[in-house]
């Protein structure tokens, strides 16, 4: 049998051409093993393939470590300077030259306060304290206002302390002026908080507190609210329709 090298068909010996494809047969060039062999049939497996296996190692999670805040920084204690009280002994100027020498204790309030070994700063501190007490004492009466027109003429209002307010009494509103013109202002032209007189640096000053009808000095222009103006002896002050005379005692 001669096999066709082209299609693999077996032909009778002595054939020159393939009965199947018609190609010329060449016995010398035809190998003993056919050039083309059909692939073997696929073998079917019995049953479906096994499912893939996925293995996973079970790991138990570790508990979270609780947060611990850092300790607060430690600051060294502040060094305190020891203070000497009045009952402690004061060293004399020669105490450094003589070991163990101490001067007898003296107090600032005793008769020996001015001698050596006393506290020189205590006297100055006492003087400063006395000056502060003197500043808190109310200023004595050194000025007054006298009605010239618009009320009871000749009525006087002493200016006591470092600040006096001019206005009208209003108990419901809690307004109690130092210089009350309620009875001398029947037309209510004076505001409840009309003006204020202050004594600053040995000088009396007056300022308008935003009154309705304004404040005037010596019949000049109306004072702007909050603008302080100096007062001199004999000045005329007009509030509403009330004329007042400023007199220094």
What's the rounded Cα separation, in Å, for the pair 28 and 13?
A: 13
Going by C-beta distance under 8 Å and a sequence separation of 6 or more, which residues neighbour residue 199? Answer: 139, 142, 143, 159, 161, 162, 163, 205
DSSP output for 192-219: TEEEEEEEETTEEEEEE-S-SS-EEETT
- For the chain (249 residues), the mean pLDDT of every run of 10, in chain order, is 78 78 66 56 65 62 72 71 53 47 45 44 53 48 88 91 92 91 90 95 95 94 93 94 93
State the pLDDT at residue 135. 47
State the pLDDT at residue 25. 74
**Encoded tokens for 147:** 């009605």
List the beta bridge partners of residue 246. Answer: 145
Report the run of H or E that residue 159 belongs to, with start and end.
Answer: strand 156-159
Structural domains in the chain, CATH included, are 1-37 (no CATH), 143-248 (2.60.200.20)
What's the rounded Cα separation, in Å, for the pair 118 and 108?
A: 6
């Amino acid at each position: 049998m001669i096999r066709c090298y082209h299609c693999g068909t077996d032909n009778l010996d002595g054939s020159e051409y393939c009965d199947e494809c018609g190609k010329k047969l060449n016995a010398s060039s035809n190998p003993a093993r056919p050039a083309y062999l059909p692939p073997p049939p696929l073998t079917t497996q019995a049953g479906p393939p096994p499912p893939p296996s996925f293995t996973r190692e079970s790991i138990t999670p570790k508990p979270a470590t609780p947060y611990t805040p850092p300790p607060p920084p430690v600051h060294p204690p502040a060094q305190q300077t020891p203070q000497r009280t009045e009952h402690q002994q004061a060293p004399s100027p020669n105490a450094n030259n003589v070991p163990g020498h101490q001067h007898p204790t003296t107090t600032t309030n005793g008769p020996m306060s001015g001698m050596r070994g006393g506290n020189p700063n205590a006297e100055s501190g006492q003087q400063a304290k006395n000056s502060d007490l003197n500043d808190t004492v109310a200023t004595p009466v050194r000025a007054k206002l006298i009605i010239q027109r618009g009320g009871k003429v000749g009525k006087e209002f002493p200016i006591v302390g470092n600040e006096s307010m001019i206005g009208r009494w209003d108990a419901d509103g809690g307004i109690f002026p130092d210089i009350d013109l309620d009875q001398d202002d029947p037309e209510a032209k004076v505001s409840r908080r009309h003006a204020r007189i202050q004594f600053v640096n040995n000088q009396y000053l007056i300022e308008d507190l935003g009154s309705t009808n304004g404040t005037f000095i010596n019949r000049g222009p109306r004072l702007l609210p909050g603008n302080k103006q100096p007062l001199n002896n004999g000045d005329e002050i007009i509030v509403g329709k009330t004329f007042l005379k400023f007199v220094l005692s």
